[in-house]
Structure 1
Amino acid sequence: MTDSESVGARIAKIRKLRGLTQFQLAQRANVSRSMLAQVERGHSSASTVWIGSIATALQVDASRLYGGDEPEQLLDILPVLRRTLAAIDLMDPDLEPEPIEKLHGIVAQVGRWRRDTQYRKIIGVLPELVDRLLISGHEAGGPAYAMLTDAYRAANTVAHKFGYADLSLTATERMEWAASRSGDPLLLATTHYVKAATLARVGATAQALRLLTRAMADIDPLVEEDQTAAAVYSILHMRAGTIAASTGDADTARAHLGEAELLARGFGDRIVYGSPVGPANVRLYQLCAEVDLGEPGRAIDIAEGTRLPKGMAVERQAYFWLDTTRAYLQAGKLDAAVDALQESRVSSPEHFASSPAVKGIINTAAVRQHRASDRLQSLARHAGIKS
């Protein structure tokens, strides 16, 4: 494994170049010093939100902490994303507005591809689809803008998964612009759920939490009588919980996630506004939070007590296994960590091959093993880490 330097080693190197102690960096990033020490030693792998806070405190782009080169087969994605997000008012003048019913099926399919991590299929249709929806928006209004929000969300997902933080930020701004024209307050709140994660990944955790608080206040009057509103409210709490956990604020994190758990009892595991909701999804967020809080025992209890429901979004399955891997790594259970990592690859090979977070976790596992096992080396090859 030539890309053997872990995220933690890169953090330590840059921290020292900045003349900072662990305590000083932890204070600047608003994270716990103990978690920072674990990550730097290669004993723990952090979430993308946690790494975003560290990168901002070190005044570097988060991609510098992940390291590694882009897989050659993914290099064509960047220009397509830029083309998709380039403008909202410079469409092809020869395009004619299309019936909303004609576009609805395509947008729904893109949403399924997003949840199933089929990123190449999304890229194949996205630029033209966005243009068609922008044209139709002038005539159809709200329904077209609602679908356009979903299309921009797919662009955000692809940008994030491949590590393009700047394009992810642009995509969420486009989402917010389209959702505000849809006339649907719950869609706008869902957009803020997505945007908060994007903000947190670049270290803007305080702004992300303020956005979520505002979004909850906006839809609070709807929650009592509208189950869909309650589902959206729950994902806002879940996001706030994991962001609070990345800052080491256990009480706030668990309070938000506890509220999400109570709300989820009123509706089953399903998809609402393109997002998985329900009791199982809350457990996945609780798992992520406990790992970021440096509580591997709690995290492993959640992971081992969770049964993923049939048909759960592939994206969520992949993250469940990655967070389970992180929990086992923190606990020093290396064989179990590699088992969970293998499950993540099986659940979504495309996500596994493209995600910078996966590479960071593999490098952490390699540090913990001292000499990477054959199984870990095989997983590294699947993740595009050259040997």
Structure 2
Amino acid sequence: MPQGTDDHIGARLADYRKLRGLTQSGLAQKAFVSRGTIAKVEAGLSPATPGIVAAASRALHVPVDVLNGQPYMSELQQDRLDAMIEPLTAALDMYDLGPDPDITPRPVAALAADVERLCEGTCATEYKGIGEALPGLMSELTTAVGLASFGAERQRLAELLAWTYWVAYEFAYRLGYHHLAAIALERMGWMGEQAQDPLLLALRLARRSSMLLRRGDNQMAERILERGHRLVEQADDPHAVPALAVGGSLHLAGAIAAAQAKNKDSVEEYLKEAGAAAKRIGRDVPGVYWASFGLTNVKHFEVATAVELGDLGAAVKEARKLHFPAGHPPMRTGRYYIEMGRAYAQMGRYEKAEEQLHRARKIAPQQARYHPLMRSTIGVLVRHQRRAPDGLVSLAGWVGMI
């Protein structure tokens, strides 16, 4: 069944709060937010930001995906994405079974080309194409690694298999299958070790920190990011573009962690370090370790951290300076417009907020359709207007809220 506008994150939060015998003030105290914030979120009048959901999840001992209502099964079934989860789960389970006698792996170059296409599709949020191709390629690479002799070729195959695990993480995580995403990350670390690539392992830690931030564990996320920086220092050339891109991405992840902890000084320090790395590179390098890093991404995170800190005026001011170049990864651009939709909704600028959400849908439709913040913000816009505009009704129907 579609998720109605009266069945939202705030309503689920209120249900679990009552089951735990807490008042709004009691939950606010446990979650370290104001009672007014809890009241607005429960009423669906304020976006349920990732930080608030994480804090409530921790206080109520309820998983974040339960509060978010993920995965969104009706929409997954409509898009035929639900049928792709079982084959992916089976492919992830093959990791320690050795070569499959029914699979004859293709040459390394052909496998590498397919992995490249999958990584590009991931950054473009083309979930259906990813879900169809990923299990087979992962199984083929698992067999190829098992058959290969130790040496440079086996390391290369291990690297390629590690990237398919990264793709599996992104695919599962974005669709709300967070347990499966966690398994994919573990497999990525295991194979990254065999590839002997510290930058690949550091990038994995950046994704692991994101999962911790989703649960509101800022301190552990920052500890993991520190470990990531130590791995970057182990790269063959810590001052080359790949190491700068991965290190810069770790700094941006740190900035988000600090923003969720409301530590503005740390946010500024992380952004300063990321900016220095981007300036040394001198250009955007979206395909380097698929970190989507560069000057544009640093500007994006300046806006995103201002939103997270609640400094919405500064966020809008910085947003005026941000221009995405042609070819910038839709994963990043789409997320930016979702974040700005939330910011404008919090400011009471509802027409502007709706405009941002339409942009997110146009740029990265599958990402927008399955993003909980997109749904939360749409619900806020509907509840704040006596008669929802046709465009907003269309958005609500598209994500399955009506």
Fold match (TM-score > 0.5): yes
How far apart in 1 are the matches of 2:262 and 2:29?
11
- 8 Å CA contact retained: 2:198, 2:234: no
Taking the aligned partners of 1:82 and 1:203, their CA distance within structure 2 comes to: 27
Q: CA deviation at 1:32?
A: 7.0
Alpha-carbon distance, 1:185 to partner: 0.9
Q: Can you give the 5+ residue segments of structure 1 that lack an aligned partner in the other structure?
A: none
Q: 1:246 aligns with which of 247, 260, 265?
A: 260
Query: How many Å separate the matches in 1 of 2:395 and 2:273?
Result: 37
Q: Which residue of 1 aligns with 2:223?
A: 210
State the partner residue of 1:57: 59
1:230 pairs with 2:238: no
- Counterpart of 2:126 in structure 1: which amino acid? Q
* Cα pair distance change 1:111/1:50, threshold 3 Å: farther
Two-structure CA RMSD over aligned residues (Å): 2.4
Contact 1:46 1:292 in 2 (8 A): no
Give SS of 1:237's match: helix
Instruction: Name which of structure 1's ranges 103-112 and 134-143 shifts more when overlaid on structure 2.
Output: 134-143
Equivalent-residue separation in structure 2 for 1:347 and 1:364 (angstroms): 22
Residue pair 1:270, 1:276 contacting (<8 A) in 2 also: yes
Shift of 1:181: 1.2
CA contact (8 A) 1:44 1:330 kept: yes
Kept in 1: contact 2:165–2:187 (CA 8 A)? yes
1:150 paired residue among 163, 179, 189: 163
Cα distance in 2 for residues equivalent to 1:183 and 1:384: 44
How far, CA to CA, are the matches of 2:243 and 2:37 in structure 1? 35
1:11 aligns with 2:19: no
Structure 1 CA distance for aligned equivalents of residues 292 and 188 of structure 2: 18
Which stretch shifts more, 8-17 or 53-62? 8-17
8 Å Cα contact 1:196-1:208 kept in structure 2: yes
1:239 positional shift: 0.6
Do the aligned partners of 2:84 and 2:132 also contact (CA within 8 Å) in 1?
Answer: no
TM-score (normalizing by structure 2): 0.88
Residue aligning to 1:96: 104
- CA pair 225-352 structure 1, distance change in 2 beyond 3 A: closer
Question: Quick one: distance in 2 between partners of 1:283 and 1:154?
Answer: 25
Identify which of 101, 113, 126 aligns with 1:118: 126
Offset from partner CA, 1:48-87 (integer Å, 9 cap, x none): 4652343233111223222374212233233233223223
* Per-residue deviation, 1:8: 2.8
TM-score (norm 1): 0.91
Equivalent position of 1:81 in the other structure: 88
Structure 2 unaligned spans of 5+: none
1:344-363 CA-to-partner distances (Å, cap 9, x unmatched) read 01112222223333222211
1:120-141, CA deviations, whole angstroms, 9 ceiling, x for partnerless residues? 1011111111111112223132
Q: Secondary structure at the match of 1:76?
A: helix
1:315 to 331, 335, 342: 331
Tell me what 2:200 maps to.
187
- Tell whether the 8 Å contact from 1:31 to 1:246 is kept in structure 2 after alignment: no
Q: By how many angstroms is 1:253 displaced?
A: 2.3
Specify which of 356, 362, 367 is matched with residue 378 of structure 2: 362
CA distance in 2, matches of 1:38, 1:249: 24
Q: Which stretch shows the higher mean deviation, 356-365 or 171-180?
A: 356-365
* Displacement of 1:316: 0.8
Q: Tell me how far apart the structure 1 counterparts of residues 229 and 120 of structure 2 sit (CA, whole Å).
A: 26
The one-character-per-residue Cα deviations of 1:327-378 (angstroms, maximum 9, x if unpaired) are 1111111110000011001112222223333222211222333543322111
CA drift of 1:240 comes to 1.2
User: Structure 1 278/350 Cα, relative in aligned 2: closer, same or farther at 3 Å?
Assistant: same
Q: Pick closer, same or farther for the CA change 1:358–1:234 going to 2, 3 Å.
A: same
Distance in 1 (CA, whole Å) between partners of 2:249 and 2:29 is 28
Relative to structure 1, the CA distance from residue 185 to residue 4 in structure 2 (aligned partners, 3 Å threshold; closer, same or farther) is same
Residues 83 and 260 of structure 1: CA distance in aligned 2, closer, same or farther (over 3 Å): same
Query: 331-340 or 206-215, which moves further after superposition?
Result: 206-215
Q: Distance in 2 between matches of 1:322 and 1:164?
A: 20
Structure 1 residues 46 and 30, CA, compared in 2 at 3 Å: closer, same or farther? same
Given that 1:116 and 1:313 are in contact with CA atoms closer than 8 Å, whether structure 2 keeps it comes out as: yes
The 3 A distance-change label for structure 1 pair 370 and 51 is farther
Q: 1:373 to 1:119 in 2, by over 3 A?
A: same
CA distance in 1 between counterparts of 2:316 and 2:10 reads 22
Higher relative contact order (CA 8 A, sep 6+): 1
Partner of 1:277: 293
**What code does the residue aligned with 1:244 have?**
A
Name the count of aligned residue pairs.
386
1:167 corresponds to:
180
* SS of alignment partner, residue 384 of structure 2: helix
Identity of aligned residues (%): 32
* Residues 277-319 of structure 1 deviation map (CA, whole Å, 9 limit, x = unaligned): 0111112222222222211111111222211111000111110
Alignment of 1:373 onto 2:389: yes
Shift of 1:37: 5.7
Structure 1 pair 288–381 and aligned structure 2 pair: CA distance change class (3 A): same
Alpha-carbon distance in 1 for matches of 2:372, 2:239: 41
